[in-house]
């Protein structure tokens, strides 16, 4: 009985330590990403992007990169299905075939998501907005 209890405790400890290790790795990756963003050079000025949405994909550049203080315009064009855009961390959203305009007031990397549930691949519709100082 003691051997079974010891084995159970050891197994639990391994799972707990493994879970803690993943959190540290995630924090480390976030720090590396912030350093990469800080190294990106972008000219200040108004930025305009067009994102073409198909079922379960945004067809655009890997990341939309702007400078803090830029006025940003994002056009959403639905090529297949019905899609909208939202940037939850910045409290920005737009509906079908809508143009979104805002000032990039906060530096960081922000996820742009599809704002209209469109099927099984809806959660895969993500691209990044990168705002550099």
**Which alpha helices (H) appear in the chain, and where do they start and end?**
2-39
Q: Domain of 13?
A: 1-39
pLDDT of residue 106: 95
Is 64 in the same domain as 125?
A: yes
Q: For residue 17, give Cα distances in angstroms to 14, 23, 131.
A: 5, 10, 35
Work out how many domains the chain is built from and give that number.
2
Pick left, alpha or beta for residue 69 (phi over 0 → left; psi -120 to 50 → alpha; otherwise beta).
left
* pLDDT block averages, 10 residues each, the chain of length 133: 58 51 41 48 86 82 88 91 89 88 96 84 84 93
* Cα–Cα dist 44/17, whole Å: 45
Stated pTM of the model: 0.65
Is 51 in the same domain as 35?
A: no
């Amino acid at each position: 009985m003691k051997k079974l209890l010891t084995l159970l405790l050891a197994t639990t400890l391994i799972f707990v330590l493994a879970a803690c290790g993943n959190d540290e790795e995630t924090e480390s990756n976030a720090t590396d990403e912030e350093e990469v963003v800080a190294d990106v050079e972008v000219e200040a000025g108004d930025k305009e992007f067009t994102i073409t949405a198909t079922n379960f994909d945004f067809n655009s550049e890997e990341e939309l990169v702007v400078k803090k203080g830029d006025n940003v315009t994002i056009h959403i064009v639905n090529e297949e299905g019905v899609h909208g855009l939202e940037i939850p961390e910045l409290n920005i959203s737009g509906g079908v075939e809508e143009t979104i305009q805002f000032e990039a007031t906060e530096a960081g990397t922000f996820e742009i998501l599809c704002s209209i549930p469109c099927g099984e691949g809806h959660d895969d519709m993500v691209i990044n907005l990168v705002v550099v100082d």
